[in-house]
Amino acid sequence: MSARKISSAKAYLEFPGFSLNGWPMLFVTVGLWVAAFYCARLAMEPAGTSARLLSADSLAGIALFLVALGSLIGRGLTIIRPNDAMILLFFGAYHGTVRTIGFRWCNPLAKRTKISLKARNLVSDQLKVNDKRGNPIEIAAVVVWRIADTAQAVFEVENYDNYVRIQIESAVRHLASHLAYAPEIAQTMLRRQQAEAVISARKKIVQGAVSMVEMALEQLSAKKLVDLDPERRRAR
């Protein structure tokens, strides 16, 4: 996908979603179910035993309608805990984010997605990068982050946890590229690095020489050209 197509995509920004106090809506739901039960009870009574104004079929239809309506309204009841939010989608369209905590009622036809707003800790992997002077250094970071815009976190990136991890690694690399030793210790650190490099090179040379000697002794012994006892082997 080209950069032009990506830039032309719609940017989502969070806005408050519609919600109400859940307790009144709970009472409405219970009231509808009670009325449905009453209508069903009247519909089951024999004709002439009660002063009903409608027929049994009509009362049964009303009871079913009240049950369905109460179930639909009850479906909108939800609980939002502290440091949580709920994203509302109505037929695929973003209809806001509810951040009000407690017992709430939202659009029962909307799809609800809960998302955590709690602070999170992320320890980046130890990276080996070069500083401003080209010296190799190892660097890591501990980052505390939380979601600020729920719409962007859900709709703008595929996986916001993985996105944050990659961005932190990129930021650490960018930060390390501007690091440099202070002038008063730069020469000392440079001489130290040079000395460490010389020691490492000499160590490898010595290891290579010892390996060559050991290999030569093993080949001489294998071909039985020279028979050396352990003391002479060590002297060689």
Per-residue pLDDT of the chain (236 residues; tens, 9 = 90+): 333 444 445 678 899 999 999 999 999 999 999 999 998 888 887 766 665 677 888 888 999 999 999 999 999 999 999 999 999 999 989 999 999 999 999 999 999 999 999 999 988 888 877 777 666 777 888 889 999 999 999 999 889 989 998 898 888 888 777 766 666 655 666 676 667 777 777 777 777 777 777 777 676 666 665 555 555 555 55
Per-residue model confidence (pLDDT) at position 90: 94
Per-residue model confidence (pLDDT) at position 168: 87
Torsion (CA) 62, 66, 72, 77 in degrees, nearest 10: 180
Per-residue model confidence (pLDDT) at position 8: 43
User: What gap in Å lies between CA 84 and CA 100, rounded to an integer?
Assistant: 9
CA 1 to each of CA 71, 152, 158, 163, 204: distance values in angstroms, whole numbers, following the listed order: 45, 20, 15, 18, 50
Per-residue model confidence (pLDDT) at position 93: 93
- Contact in structure between 37 and 63 (CB atoms under 8 Å): yes
- Own/partner pairs, 136-141, CB within 8 angstroms, 24+ separation: 137/176, 137/179, 139/172, 139/175, 139/176, 140/172, 141/168, 141/171, 141/172
- Contact in structure between 129 and 177 (CB atoms under 8 Å): yes
User: What gap in Å lies between CA 72 and CA 84, rounded to an integer?
Assistant: 24
